[in-house]
Amino acid sequence: AQSVTQPDIHITVSEGASLELRCNYSYGATPYLFWYVQSPGQGLQLLLKYFSGDTLVQGIKGFEAEFKRSQSSFNLRKPSVHWSDAAEYFCAVGAPNSGNTPLVFGKGTRLSVIA
Amino acid sequence: DSGVTQTPKHLITATGQRVTLRCSPRSGDLSVYWYQQSLDQGLQFLIQYYNGEERAKGNILERFSAQQFPDLHSELNLSSLELGDSALYFCASSSQSNTGELFFGEGSRLTVL
């Protein structure tokens, strides 16, 4: 069964600084990988996804993530953080060709942005 | 707007009571998933339905049940409520593209007093 670890519970960055949120997964093969964002009082919105091919994927709001098979990682990055990026970020893993079995989510990383 | 609709948005009830949460998936999506989000447990998968039939079961308590109706909307029934059931309950749907991508509703926040 797949699992996801997000090692950082809470991260604080200054506005304009770069950001990297860590995600490690456990799965026997190459999984489908996702990053979702949850703003306060909102549902989860998909930021980006990796299915296959180019290991660097671009998402919405200026985010990108890189799939590294050797490290079982799918870290999320943004070169310059905006105050509106303050939210909870979830990494998720899915099993390819499995008939849409449920995604497994990490426990999330809460991002705070300071001036 | 994801296209997934959940009602009610907020619900306050007492221990021992029963509530029903409702979800309408995106147009054309056959799969519906229920997740529970609590502070200590994160996002926990409860149950999945596909075109009216149960497809997968996660950490769903026996006091909880769900169903998906012919029009594809789904209901999650929570009974004999306990304080610990207070949480955000999310519904999500997925397309038939087999990518696993989920589209989430805004959630129903349940408070049990």
pLDDT (0 to 100) of residue B5: 97
Q: Determine the residue among A90, A100, A109 to mutate to test chain B binding: the one whose Cβ has the most chain B Cβ atoms within 10 Å.
A: A100
Q: What is the mean pLDDT of residues A62-66?
A: 97
The answer to whether residue A99 scores a pLDDT higher than 70 is no
Burial class (CB in 10 A: 0-12, 13-18, 19+), A41: exposed
pLDDT (0 to 100) of residue A2: 85
pLDDT (0 to 100) of residue A69: 93
- Which residues of chain B lie closer than 8 angstroms to A49, CB-CB? 99, 101
Nearest to A94 among B50, B96, B100 (CB): B100
- List the one residue out of B51, B9, B28 whose CA is nearest residue A99: B51
Nearest to A102 among B58, B103, B104 (CB): B58
C-alpha A50/C-alpha B102 separation (Å) is 13
